Structure 1
Amino acid sequence: MSSGVIIILVGAAVIVVAAVVLGTFLTHRDGGLRRRFGPEYERTVAQHNGDTKAAEKELDERVRRHGGIRTRPPTAEEQGRYTAEWTRIQEEFVDSPPRAVADAEALLGRLARERGFPDRDSEEHLAALSVHHPHHMDSYRRIRGVAQGSHERAPDTEELRETLVRAHDFFAALIGERRQRDAGRVKGRTGRHASRAGLRRGVVKGSAS
């Protein structure tokens, strides 16, 4: 076998190996983005009409811009103050569900800013939060949409109640409460908060009648 043929074969082998290594790298990277962002990954892909490369480029850019944010954990005193304010909002829900949801959305925005994220009126607000709290973005976007009146129709009382209850998990994450991994325990804990503040379904329906 001539030296020229050997060189060609070696070159081809190097190209194949490089392609395999690159493919493995991209697969791990893409899998890492999917695991990191969860539902936010799927949402971004849908926004790009199924173009995963474009979606992953956007998510990579978000991580580059905001991955280094060092959030300031709230003190015990601040936790107590925030919790008291959230409880007041839940109690407010009985008399005025729309106002309670709007106040909760404003509290979440203020709390995020005080933790070190961009202001809620900044274009980078949601992008930064999606890097550090991707699994709470659906509930946060929902309460923002309701509070800002961006839905086609006004939500009814039960939808407002569900919006507020779901947003509590994001609130708990922002103030540093221990994350409950068991879904049943989370549901039970949010249910206790709701009961204490008059957010149980029966009470809400009674207040709305």
Structure 2
Amino acid sequence: MSTSMIIVVVVAVLVVAALIAFGLRTQRRRRLRERFGPEYDRAVEDSPNRTKAERDLLARERRHDKLDIRPLSDSAREHYRQQWSLIQERFVDRPDDAIGEADRVLTRLMADRGYPTEGYEQQVNDLSVEHARTLEHYRRARETLRGNEKTRADTEALRKAMVHYRTVFDDLLAEREGSK
């Protein structure tokens, strides 16, 4: 084989390899966007580059796959619904106490579903794999809760926090197809 033929073959192999790598990267990116939704965009925005953000999201998936996430029994689901109703009733007279209790009940619900609850950032990362579409609600509710601990939030801000908590609560309470 001539030198020019070898160069043509090597270049062709490199082009094919580059196209395959590009296709795989594009496919991975599309899958991550579908899985993480708005959390994908947030991770990319918060990261120095897209590749690092995608590696972080893949690491979240790997960690999540090792967790024992489980559905709730019907009785546990009903128990949580009753607790939530009581929290909403308390909100009328004691809104600050109610959002604190909403946060505690949501944390217990996470734990009962099998999510570790050792720290807020890890909670967010773990929830992002299956609950990315409601995760921003959790962030906003927690932000209001923390802000209320420093300076009392007005009732409207507390009401919005309860709505945010309720969105995440409903999402965590729901049965999922394909849940472990």
* TM-score normalised over the length of structure 1: 0.77
Corresponding position of 2:39:
40
Aligned to 2:139: 141
Provide Cα deviations, 1:107-156, integer angstroms capped at 9, x if missing partner.
Answer: 11111011101025365322111112111111111222222338986432
Q: Check 1:122–1:162 CA distance in 2 against 1; reply closer, same or farther (3 A cut).
A: closer
Alignment of 1:100-179 (within 5 A): 100-121=98-119, 124-149=122-147, 154-176=152-174
Note the residue ranges of structure 1 that are not aligned, 5 or more in a row: 180-209
- Per the TM alignment, residue 69 of structure 1 is displaced from its structure 2 partner at its CA by 2.6
Q: Which residue of 2 is the match for residue 8 of structure 1? A: 7
Figure out how many residues of one structure are paired with residues of the other and give that number: 177
TM superposition score normalised by structure 2? 0.88
Q: Secondary structure at the match of 1:74?
A: coil
Secondary structure class of the residue paired with 2:147: coil
Give the Cα–Cα distance (whole angstroms) in 2 for the partners of residues 171 and 120 of structure 1.
Answer: 18
CA RMSD of aligned residues (A): 2.2
1: CA distance, partners of 2:158 / 2:87: 13
- Secondary structure (helix, strand or coil) at the match of 1:94 reads helix
- Counterpart check, 1:95 vs 2:78: no
Q: CA deviation at 1:56?
A: 1.0
8 Å CA contact 1:109–1:120 kept in 2: the answer is no
Structure 2, unpaired ranges of 5+:
none
Greater helix percent: which structure?
A: 2
Q: Which amino acid aligns with 2:113?
A: R
Instruction: For CA contacts below 8 A with separation 6 or more, give which structure has more relative contact order.
Output: 2
Measured after TM superposition, the shift of residue 37 of structure 1 is 0.8
